[in-house]
Structure 1
C-alpha cells in the first residue's frame, strides 16, 4: 500500500454513523475534503477531519517536495472496533444489554497522479 497513512482507533462513535460521512470525501483532493468536513455538523466529520489532517501532515513531513494541493484521499476505511457492553435496567428486575459501538478510522493520502 503506497501513500501516507494515519489511523484513529477505539473512537466511541458507531461505524454506521461515520460511513456516510466517509463516502462524501473518499477520492477527493485534500483541500476539498477538509472544506467539506469543516461544514458538516456530524461528530464523525470532526473525527475524520482529524485523521485526514494527520495523514497529510505525515506526507508533508516525510516528503518535503509535496504541497497540500498535490494530495488526495486515496483510501478511507471505517472499521468496527470492540463493543462496550452496558446493562440497561428494565422492569421486574430484568436488564437489557446496551452495546456502545466503537470505530477505527484509517486514511491513506497520496500524490495526485501526474498527467502526461
Structure 2
C-alpha cells in the first residue's frame, strides 16, 4: 500500500528541488519533516507542504499507521517553461526562462 501526493506547476527550478529531495529519500516521514524544517533552501517550503499532504492521504484515505511511514520514492520532472524577455543594450533582447516543476512524493509503510 502506498500514499502519494503530487505538486504540479511549482514555480521553482527542478534542479533546485532535486537537491532537497536527495536529502529526504528513504527517510522516515517524521525525520524527513524535521530535515525539511531546518534546511535553508527555497524548495524545502514546497516539499514540507507536499509531505504533510502525503501523510494526510496515507492516514485518511488508506488507514496507514503514521509512525511507520517512510519516503519510498520522490522525484521531480520539469514542467512548462515561462519564457520572458529582458531588454538589453543596443536594442537586443535576452531570453529569461522561468522554470516550473512537477514533484511526486510516495510514502509506504515499513514492514
Runs of 4+ in 1 over 4 A off after TM superposition: none
* Superposition map of 1:1-116 within 5 A: 2-64=1-63, 66-112=64-110, 114=111
Q: How many angstroms apart in 2 are the aligned matches of 1:75 and 1:6?
A: 11
Q: What is the CA deviation profile of residues 65-91 of structure 1, one whole-angstrom value per residue up to 9, with x for unaligned ones? A: x33211000110111011000001011
* Unmatched 5+ stretches in structure 2: none
Q: Secondary structure at the match of 2:26?
A: coil
Contact kept, 8 Å, 2:36 with 2:45, in 1: the verdict is yes
1:52 is displaced (CA, Å) by 1.2
Q: Secondary structure at the match of 1:61?
A: helix
Q: How many residue pairs were aligned?
A: 111
Q: How many angstroms apart in 1 are the aligned matches of 2:16 and 2:107?
A: 22
* Unmatched 5+ stretches in structure 1: none
Q: How many angstroms apart in 1 are the aligned matches of 2:12 and 2:61?
A: 31
When the two structures are superposed, what TM-score results if normalisation uses the length of structure 2? 0.95
Q: How many angstroms apart in 2 are the aligned matches of 1:22 and 1:3?
A: 18
When the two structures are superposed, what TM-score results if normalisation uses the length of structure 1? 0.91
